[in-house]
Amino acid sequence: MTETRITPALRMAEIQPELERLRRRGFLRRALSLGGLTLLTGCDLSTHSGIDAALEAILRFDDRIQKALFSPHRMAETYPASAITKPFRFNAYYAEWQVRPVPDNWALSVSGLVRDKRAWPLPALMALPQQGQITRHICIEGWSQIGQWSGVPLGVFLRRVGADLSARYVSFKCFDGYSTSIDMASALQSQTLLALDFETAPLTPQWGAPLRLRIPTKLGFKSAKNLEAIEVTNTYPGGYWENQGYDWFAGV
Amino acid sequence: MSRQKPRRVAHPRAVRVMHWIGVYAMGCMIFSGWEIYNASPSLPFLFPHWAGLGGWLGGALAWHLSAMWLLLADGVAYLIYGFASGHFRRDLQPPSPAALAHDLGSALHFRLKHRSGHYNAVQRLLYGGVVLAVILQTMTGLAIWKPVQFGWLAGVFGGYPVARGLHLAIMLGIVAFVVLHVTLVAIHPSTLKSMVVSVPTESVAKGEESP
């Protein structure tokens, strides 16, 4: 064998950590799939298409448990003004400099299982009954902060537009490309707001101007900012994060 | 009582099965928990990415919120078994301070006797302690999963942020137990065999009966 002195494209030392990571990954996945079977004794394994399918099935089971644990009469804790977190942390699926300004002639569109599908310009929303709250906003990442919002209780709004309150979902679309959806029971919980104000001033774009959802009984990613459309529906609407694998109910 | 009575098995089959299911479930919880922690670390360190389970926050949460059912089922079965079979009363009663001081002293001089099927004071302390830690960890976990629906429980732990800190601290305690436990098993490899297959209890020499 002739010895050549060609510099290899890859040196073992360079890829060792990556190989190690893949090896461990593979080990964990194999080990864990055994446990996956233990969890899935009630499932038809002939249609079982992998660990992700199993995890998704368990998340749907978790959603049913969360729905059963939810009580519309249980209130999120409220705090004094002195407890408000300052400075309040900006959070979105994009960086703060990418925040969109409010479009000209903005109005909230309403569709689906509702009697009155007229769009709502801002002054009309401001004329509805208002309510304020100082509650804890809990992010799915684990951090939390206490903020103050006020606006129209979503239940008041849904009744005003003659929504079918037995429908399963209320879906939200935002003009920044975000979307989310919640169950009707949580939508009607009295602390769920269509917020117009943050702290004591009208919402500014980074806090969700001109209108955002504020729902303290769910994780932060459900409190969609920069709303432009609400739909009441029985067809599962999903959402930006929900479609990527966050659990849909996301109750706290 | 018959004199031919077979000697008790060091670890009955039920304990062996529940032990290994527990190892698997707790492994899923710890490794996915590390990935979840990394999404928003509350201390100035991250867990290594290769040790995380789930690949990203959403995947890790899916693992965490799936494996919790296995851990819960295994834990409840173990508690029922432990009380009903007399395992807790016989093997895991808190040791007396004197017995603990004696056995801890021997252990630190690597002279602690180990007989399969008998629990010395150090083992009673560690195993009893980790059972309590897992129960407490389940409760802090419930408190941060549902801080509104189980608001009373979050309140018991001092509110959501404190309960989240406790959940992290107890995890570190459980990991410390695992390190110690695995080290002690490495010193007495026969104990690993007795947690896998049926091994009879070692007989007790005269005058060596544990206090």
Taking only the tens place, the pLDDT of each residue in A129-186 is 999 999 999 999 999 999 999 999 999 999 999 999 999 999 999 999 999 999 999 9
Residue of chain B whose alpha carbon sits nearest to that of A68: B149
What is the CATH code of the structural domain delimited by A81-87+106-244?
Answer: 3.90.420.10
ipTM: 0.87
Establish if A247 touches chain B: CB-CB under 8 angstroms. Answer: yes
Establish if A28 touches chain B: CB-CB under 8 angstroms. Answer: yes
Measured between beta carbons, which residues in chain B are less than 8 angstroms from residue A83? Answer: none
Task: Report the largest interatomic distance among the alpha carbons of chain B, rounded to a whole angstrom.
Answer: 63
Establish if A250 touches chain B: CB-CB under 8 angstroms. Answer: no
pLDDT at B190 exceeding the cut of 50: yes
Q: Which residues of B108-120 are buried (b: 16+ CB within 10 A; e: fewer)?
A: eeeebebbbbbbb
Across the A:B interface, residue pairs with CB atoms under 8 Å apart total 97
pLDDT in tens, A51-109: 888 998 999 999 999 999 999 999 999 999 999 999 999 999 999 999 999 999 999 99
Establish if A71 touches chain B: CB-CB under 8 angstroms. Answer: yes
Given the structure tokens 């295994």, which residue do they identify?
B74
**Structure tokens of A117?**
């599908």
Using CA atoms of B146, B151, B155, B158 in order, give the dihedral in degrees to the nearest 10: 40
How far is the C-alpha of B187 from the C-alpha of B192, rounded, in Å?
Answer: 10
Q: How far from A164 is each of A160, A168, A170, A233, A234, CA to CA, in Å?
A: 11, 9, 10, 9, 10
% pLDDT > 90, chain B: 60
Q: How far from A200 is each of A134, A196, B201, CA to CA, in Å?
A: 11, 10, 71
Contact A39 B69 (CB under 8 A): yes
Of A70, A140, A241, the CB nearest to B149: A70
> How would you write chain A as a 3-class SS string?
CCCCCCCCCCCHHHHHHHHHHHHHHHHHHHHHHHHHHHHCCCCCHHHCCCHHHHHHHHHHHHHHHHHHHCCCCCCCCECCHHHCCCCCCCCCCCCHHHCCCCCCCCEEEEEECECCCCCEEHHHHHCCCCEEEEEEEECCCCCEEEEEEEEEEHHHHHHHCCECCCCCEEEEEECCCCEEEEEHHHHHCCCCEEEEEECCEECCHHHCCCCEEECCCECHHHCCCCEEEEEEECCCCCCCCHHHCCCCCCEC
The predicted structure's pLDDT at residue A113: 98
CB contact at 8 A, B66 and A247: no
pLDDT in tens, A191-209: 999 999 999 999 999 999 9
What does the mean pLDDT of chain A come to? Answer: 87
Of B40, B51, B149, the CB nearest to A142: B40
What is the average per-residue pLDDT within B79-108?
90
Confidence of residue B6 (pLDDT cuts 50, 70, 90): low
Of A32, A66, A216, the CB nearest to B28: A32
pLDDT in tens, B125-144: 999 999 999 999 999 999 99
pLDDT at B164 exceeding the cut of 90: yes
CB contact at 8 A, B181 and B126: yes
Q: How far is B200 from chain A (nearest CA, A)?
A: 29
Measured between beta carbons, which residues in chain B are less than 8 angstroms from residue A62? Answer: 65-66
% pLDDT > 90, chain A: 77
Confidence of residue B174 (pLDDT cuts 50, 70, 90): very high
